[in-house]
Amino acid sequence: MLITFKRVYTSQTFNIPIDLSWSVSKFIYESKKFLSTRTSLNSNDIQIIDVGLERQEDEDELENSEQTLESRYKSTPCFYFRCKMNQVSSLETCPVCLDNPRQMLQTSCYHEICSRCYNHLAEISHRSCPICRSNTII
């Protein structure tokens, strides 16, 4: 089976062949190894994000899971990947609109977006983070 990974903030996608009998931890390990060979990222710097989750699970929790992919996912999962947040020094562009902002504002989950996007989300009463989708106060 092929699983699609999309790199956050880009149009890059990668299809990775996997075996549904793999544990979640093996899947994450193999995926990071595969992605590091096709990007400039070191496998230790890659964070994998499950598109189907409302909140990002703790990465250690996922990496240590022995649950099989087949038992965890009832339909074909899709994932994002990015450089771990502690590896990014400061954003030069807004991750939502990709503009070069003058002022960045931080969500309560510590993601930075430009003031224009922040204000727009507040105006339309959008209550989840546009980066991680956690229920947050904008």
Chunked mean pLDDT (size 10), the chain, 138 residues: 86 90 92 90 85 60 80 83 60 80 77 86 85 74
CATH of domain 2-87: 3.10.20.90
Homologous superfamily of 90-138: Zinc/RING finger domain, C3HC4 (zinc finger) (3.30.40.10)
The predicted pLDDT at position 126 comes to 83
For 97, counting Cβ atoms within 10 Å of its Cβ (0-12 exposed, 13-18 middle, 19+ buried), the class is: middle
Domain boundaries, the chain: 2-87, 90-138
Q: What per-residue confidence (pLDDT) applies to 105?
A: 82
The residues pairing with 47 across neighbouring beta strands, listed in sequence order, are 82
pLDDT at 88: 41
Contact 65, 30 (CB under 8 A): no
**Predicted pLDDT of residue 86:** 46
pTM metric for this prediction: 0.58
What pLDDT score was predicted for residue 137?
A: 63
pLDDT at 89: 39
